[in-house]
Every structure is written in structure tokens, then in C-alpha cells.
Amino acid sequence: MKNPSHLNQKGEAYMVDIIDKEETKRKAVAEGFIRIKESTSEVITNGNLDKGDLFGSARIAGIMAAKKTSELIPLCHILSISSINIEINIIKDNIHIVCEVSNKGQTGVEMEALTAVSVSCLTIYDMIKGIDRGAVISTIQLINKEGGKSGEWSRNEG
């Protein structure tokens, strides 16, 4: 196998060669939060947002973003994605976005899950900024991943 770093022998950035990596089932789950005003939560919950279906729009934007991750992150490989699931819920004064991405491939889908959550958050902010410009996107993070040489990892386990 080649150098697993994103730097070549000259210290220059390059795309890692994955040709010899084993194809395995892979899954990644990421999450993010948007802190909103209570009045914003009420508008969303009551279906009174002027811009339409907030969660549906954010879900589609996240799915599209996951599929385009290799175009956004310079050294990511183009992946065949098997599934993308995005769940969005309001918990008190927070909107919670969770994305699960899976595939069978030679490299993981962590960046796709994180990209989906990020763009879902940005889409929600765009749609609510007229009533809550102070909304705060925070804590976008990987929750767990499965597959590949390193196996399973969970934020709860360290």
C-alpha cells in the first residue's frame, strides 16, 4: 500500500491511492445542532414558516451535498453511496440533524455524512434567517463509523 497520508514525499498535498484497500461495508453517522429562539420553534412547529417545508428542503439539500462531497472537499474520493438517511427534529430550542451514510467501498463515508449535516444546517439557517438571524449552528461532529481497516469507532467510546 502507498503512503496513507495526504502528503507526498515532497510534503505536497495529493489524493491517497486506495487501489489496494479492501472493499468493505461502511457506515458513518454525523450530527449537528441549530440553536433557535423559542418563537422560531413555535413558527416551525405550527407550520407557519413562509419559505415552505423546512425539514424537507434541508433533507434534500443534505442528500445532494453528500453526493457532491468529492467536489467540495479537495482530496476526497468519488464514492458510490448506497444510502443516505437524514432525520431532523426540534428539541426545545434546538434543531437536531442526524445523517447516516452507507456504502460498500474502499474508503469511508465520514466526510459525506458531515457534509450532509453541514449543508442541512445551512439550508435551515437560510430558511429561518428572516425570523431568527441570531440562530447558531454548532457541534457538527461524527458520532460513529463502521467498516474499513480501523473497524468501528464511536464518540461515546472515545
- Of the residues 20, 50, 53, 126, which is catalytic? 126
Q: Please name the residue that has the C-alpha cell 453526493.
A: 67
8 Å CB contact between 68 and 122: no
CA 61 vs CA 22, 26, 28, 127, 138: distances in Å = 31, 22, 18, 12, 18
Rounded to whole angstroms, the Cα distance separating 142 from 158 reads: 12
Rounded to whole angstroms, the Cα distance separating 45 from 49 reads: 9
Catalytic-residue membership of 53: no
Cβ atoms within 10 Å of 4's Cβ, excluding its own: 10
Question: Catalytic residues, which ones?
Answer: 126
